[in-house]
Amino acid sequence: MPVLDNIIARVPLLLRYLLAALVLCGLILAMILPRAAILRNGQEVRLEIAPVDPRDLFRGDYVVLAYRIGTVDVPSSLTTSFKRGQQVFVTLRPDANNKAKAVAISAERPAVTGNDIVIAGFVTASSTCRLNEAGTRDCKLGTNAVGVRYGLESYFVPQGEGKKIELMARARLEVVAAVAPSGQAAIKRLLIDGVPVYDEPLY
């Protein structure tokens, strides 16, 4: 557009650079601030890690996580069917050890009472094997379970920290996540044997 080109041409080069920098900073803040708000104000929930092959758990400083709440049992009385990629809401309830268990799943955000927390996720498998007491999938228990991802399955730790955590992987690894009222969640800290080994900064 000639008119727009003429207007841009009249703007000093330095001012153009400053405007571009401001736009870039605005985009970065738009990505960082919502996550920082979740970490600062979200309800904390303690999540157990599902057993995985240790070789797949750590890749340098990039941590791959699978959660017990990543498999949610669907009651036979529930007639709703879930599809891969569908957004769902999982109700979490702390057990006697304050570790969250998935107790319900629905397509709409449910009302909660007591200590229940609702976390949002997306269906990865509409039909999968249920988990046994050890936290591994056991098809003998039936396939009336749904696989769910929460956006918490990958985590970057500071350079050099991944190997340090990997050496302690034989101990129990847990995650403390912060969950916003919307259901969005972010990893707040990593625990090994119940002891924090890394806290996520707000920014």
CA distance 72 to 146: 5
pLDDT (tens digit per residue) in 32-41:
556 677 888 8
What are the start-end ranges of the E strands in 27-153? 43-48, 58-59, 62-64, 71-73, 87-94, 100-106, 117-128, 145-149
Residue 18: pLDDT band (50, 70, 90) is: confident
CB 169 within 8 A of CB 57: yes
The CA distances from residue 169 to 36, 42, 52, 61, in Å, are 28, 27, 11, 13
pTM: 0.77
- Pick 9 or 114 by higher pLDDT: 114
Res 190: pLDDT? 87
Q: Is a pLDDT exceeding 70 seen at residue 163? A: no
pLDDT (tens digit per residue) in 26-72:
555 555 556 677 888 889 999 988 755 444 444 556 677 889 999 99
Res 54: pLDDT? 46
How many helical (H) and strand (E) elements, i.e. helices and strands, does the chain have? 4, 12
Q: Which amino acid is at 110?
A: P
Residue 146: pLDDT band (50, 70, 90) is: very high
Share of the chain above pLDDT 90, in %: 34
Res 53: pLDDT? 46
